[in-house]
Amino acid sequence: MHEISIAESILEIAEEQARAQNARSIQLIKLRLGEFTTIVREALEFAFEIARQGTLAEDAVLEIETVSILVRCAVCDRATQPVVGICLICTVCGFPMEILTGEELQIEYIEVETEEEWIKWKLSQKELPQGQQSESRSRPTS
């Protein structure tokens, strides 16, 4: 299962970016994952749950956008999404197709919580009357 090393790499990159922003924690990691990768989405999600323990992303959500495969003929310029299986030969002219999308594995963005945001949230909780605190318990994310 190579998804564990992929999840660890994703977390390493996200933590590096979060530390550069002096973040207290990572709230969300948005990932683009192409259909034409050898990565199994469910296995990656499982690996992420394990790998995030003890990191800045311990409570983070992993949001995965699936990128469909799109191919184009290098000769006749016909672009299409393969319907059955993945055939990389053009059905019009018989020449090889090139993959335009579907091979992505990209961190699109991360959402972090900085120390300053956390302190503001904690202070705002002290200012609210008791009855209103339960309605405002969730911390804002950046």
- Return the DSSP state at 63: E
Range(s) of the domain holding residue 24: 3-136
Gap between the Cα atoms of 6 and 102, Å rounded = 17
* Spatial contact of 118 and 21, defined as CB atoms under 8 Å apart: no
Supply the DSSP symbol for 1.
-
- 87 known member of a binding site: no
Instruction: Establish if 38 belongs to a structural domain.
Output: yes
Per-residue pLDDT tens over the stretch 91-134: 888 888 898 999 999 999 999 988 777 677 667 777 655 555 44
Q: Tell me phi and psi for residue 37, to 5 degrees.
A: -100, 170
Residue 72 belongs to a domain:
yes
73 is in an annotated binding site: yes
- The continuous run of DSSP H or E covering 126 comes out as helix 115-127
Write phi, then psi, for 69 (nearest 5 degrees).
-80, 135
Portion of the chain with pLDDT greater than 90, in percent: 53
Within 10 A of 53 (CB to CB), how many other CB atoms are there? 8
Q: How many structural domains does the chain have? A: 1
Domain membership of residue 118 (yes or no) is yes
Is the residue at 84 inside a domain? yes
Q: Which residue has the higher pLDDT, 47 or 92?
A: 47
Mean pLDDT of 24-34: 96
Q: Which tokens hold the place of 130? A: 């008791």
